[in-house]
Amino acid sequence: MALTVQLQGTFSLRPGPDALSVGDGGSQYGMHLQGVHAAATQENSQSQAYFNSPSSYLALPISANMRGLVFFFSPNDPFPLGSLQITFSTTGVVTFPVRGQVIMETDSTDYISAIAFQGQGTVDWVLTGTYS
Q: What are the residues facing 121 on neighbouring strands?
A: 51
Distance between CA atoms of 83 and 12, rounded to whole angstroms? 26
Taking the CA atoms of 66, 115, 58 and 31 in sequence, report the sign of the dihedral they define. negative
* Beta strand pairing call for 92-98 and 42-59: unpaired
The 3-state secondary structure of 70-120, one letter per residue:
EEEEEECCCCCCEEEEEEECCCEEEEEEECCCEEEECCCCCCEEEEEEEEE
User: What's the chain's Rg over C-alpha atoms?
Assistant: 17
Amino acid present at 64: A
pLDDT at 82 over 80: yes
CB atoms within 10 A of CB 17: 4
Distance between CA atoms of 52 and 49, rounded to whole angstroms? 10
**Domains, in order of start, for the chain:** 40-131 (2.60.120)
Per residue in 44-67, pLDDT (tens digit) is 899 999 999 999 999 999 999 999
Per residue in 15-55, pLDDT (tens digit) is 766 656 555 567 877 776 776 666 788 888 999 999 999 99
Residue 68's pLDDT band (cuts 50, 70, 90) = very high
